[in-house]
Amino acid sequence: MISPRRREPPVRDPLFPGSTRQRIRTYLVVNLVAIWTSVVALVVLNQQVPSRSIVVDIVALVVAGAAYAVALVLATRGALGPAAAVAVGGTWLVAFSLAWATPFTTPVALLVLYVPALILTDAFGPRSRTVLLTATVVLTGALVVVGESRREVWDANHPEIPVLGLLVGLFTLIVAGVLVVGIRDTALRVTRHSRDLEESRTRLAAASLDARRDIERDLHDGAQQRLTTLAVDIGRLTRALDTDPERARTIAHGLHDQLQAAIRELRDLAHGIYPTVLTERGLAGALPAAARRTAVACVVDVDGLRHRHASDVEAAVYFCCLEAMQNADRHAQGSLISVEVSDDARDGEPVLRFRVSDDGRGFDVGRHRGAHGLAGMRDRILSAGGRLEIRSVPGGGTTVEGRFRKDTSTAR
């Protein structure tokens, strides 16, 4: 059952360990804590040594804290790009406020300036990422100029602060801690991704060998046997043409039925290897065709799919969705399977998302994480450059959700 008019809730960024969404949310929370810790420290300092400059820093930090709160709400809703942009603006405001109002904290401001470039780059597309990194380099020079130009004004108009060195050290420690956590997270993420990719390639190689053996067996047991029978019957037909025309006609009718059966078997086998409709019409044509073969009602929504994508990506998404649909059809014992595929462009970068869900009995994902079917879906998506999340609880249905953030579009 195909219904282009029924709309499912939009696919959002998956929240799972190591995902960009989770890391950005963690970063925003950590920075909110750091900002309000700094506000408390500056309020205490201002009570001891009243200064308008320190008040300016406090106001800038409060504004940045509010910006980070807004960014956290946006990130929770899946709007990672806007969340990161708001966070970058708040961070840069703090950096320049520190350098302008209290120039002795310029070293701290420089560290603050580089925090977004290190931690938030994944939330942006390639063009925005380039702009962010370039702007950070340019603003580094501007920040030093601001801090040095204000140093003499500060020294001339402010009394000596006894704990100045301790204060700068404290703020440097806080910001450096955030940077170290970001560096460690990046290193762990790269290592984990490389390990997962290597393991998935190994499993895919083994699966490819098994698939070739299955194809060989299917050809031998199916189409090859039918073609052998056809060859024998054609010989019988040839001998009967001159001696028994009536028997020849009977054999000829049987040949037609056998030939149609062989064509069907070859077509089904070819469809399992790589369906022609996927090559010709992409996911928008292949997924509805696959949905017609399920026993359980299947709703497919491809209205949000506006681009063709690279063939390896389309194949990965198709076979992952097909596996999820077949699992739901055979094992979920539900009444409806929903499939949604969509893409959009952020900063010129197409983002492909897909989701397959059912209202069946569900299962414990943790206990079945190493299952052949689930591992195969993850490997397909990971090898094509995407991410996949499988969510399910007993009695609560199952959702398979994935996304590709890299440029996977291709002109067709």
pLDDT tens per residue across span 66-103: 998 998 888 887 777 888 888 888 889 888 988 888 88
Q: Is residue 194 part of a domain?
A: no
| Residue 18 token pair | 């190591």
Angle (deg, nearest 10), helices 106-119 and 164-218: 10
Same domain, 223 and 338: no
Q: Is residue 59 part of a domain?
A: yes
Q: Is the pLDDT of residue 153 over 80?
A: no
Q: Among 131, 162, 193, which residue terminates a domain?
A: 162
- Residue 355, domain extent: 281-404
Q: Is residue 409 part of a domain?
A: no
Q: Is the dihedral of CA 85, 87, 91, 97 positive or negative?
A: positive
DSSP 227-261: HHHHHHHHHHHHHHHHH-HHHHHHHHHHHHHHHHH
Lowest mean pLDDT of 97-101, 155-159, 289-293, 329-333, name the range.
Answer: 155-159
Q: Is the pLDDT of residue 146 over 50?
A: yes
Same domain, 35 and 153: yes
Q: What is the side-by-side order of every strand in the sheet holding 387-392? A: 298-301, 337-346, 349-358, 398-404, 387-392
Q: Is residue 118 part of a domain?
A: yes
Same domain, 115 and 63: yes
Same domain, 294 and 347: yes
**Mean pLDDT for the stretch of residues 378-391:** 84
DSSP 36-53: HHHHHHHHHHHHHS--HH
Q: Is residue 3 part of a domain?
A: no
255-280 per-position pLDDT tens digit: 777 777 777 667 666 656 667 778 88
Q: Is residue 69 part of a domain?
A: yes
Same domain, 303 and 393: yes
92-139 per-position pLDDT tens digit: 988 898 888 888 878 888 888 888 887 777 777 778 888 888 998 999
Lowest mean pLDDT of 8-17, 156-165, 183-192, 306-315, name the range.
Answer: 8-17
Q: Among 243, 273, 303, which residue terminates a domain?
A: 273
For the chain, the straight-line distance linking the first and the last C-alpha, in angstroms and rounded, comes to 28
Same domain, 45 and 65: yes
The answer to whether the predicted template modeling score (pTM) of the entire model surpasses 0.85 is: no
pLDDT value for 9: 38
3-59 per-position pLDDT tens digit: 443 333 333 334 444 566 777 787 788 778 878 888 888 888 778 777 788 888 888
Q: Among 162, 177, 210, which residue terminates a domain?
A: 162
Band (pLDDT 50/70/90 cuts) for residue 399 is very high
Same domain, 264 and 293: no
40-54 per-position pLDDT tens digit: 888 887 787 777 888
Same domain, 292 and 378: yes
Q: Is residue 169 part of a domain?
A: no
Q: Residue 330 belongs to a domain with what CATH number?
A: 3.30.565.10
Beta strands in 32-125 (DSSP E): none
Q: Could you count the other beta carbons within 10 Å of the beta carbon of residue 97?
A: 23
Same domain, 30 and 144: yes
Which residues does residue 337 pair with via DSSP β-bridges, in sequence order? 298, 358
pLDDT value for 204: 63
**229 contacts: CB under 8 Å, gap ≥ 6:** 258
Same domain, 321 and 357: yes
pLDDT value for 17: 46
Are 248 and 213 contacting, i.e. CB atoms less than 8 angstroms apart? Answer: no
pLDDT value for 393: 83
Looking at the structure of the chain, the number of domains it has is 3
Q: Is residue 315 part of a domain?
A: yes
Angle (deg, nearest 10), helices 52-76 and 20-48: 160
pLDDT value for 57: 84
323-382 per-position pLDDT tens digit: 899 889 888 888 999 999 998 765 445 688 999 999 999 888 877 766 767 877 888 888
Are 337 and 296 contacting, i.e. CB atoms less than 8 angstroms apart? Answer: yes
Same domain, 158 and 137: yes
Same domain, 145 and 56: yes
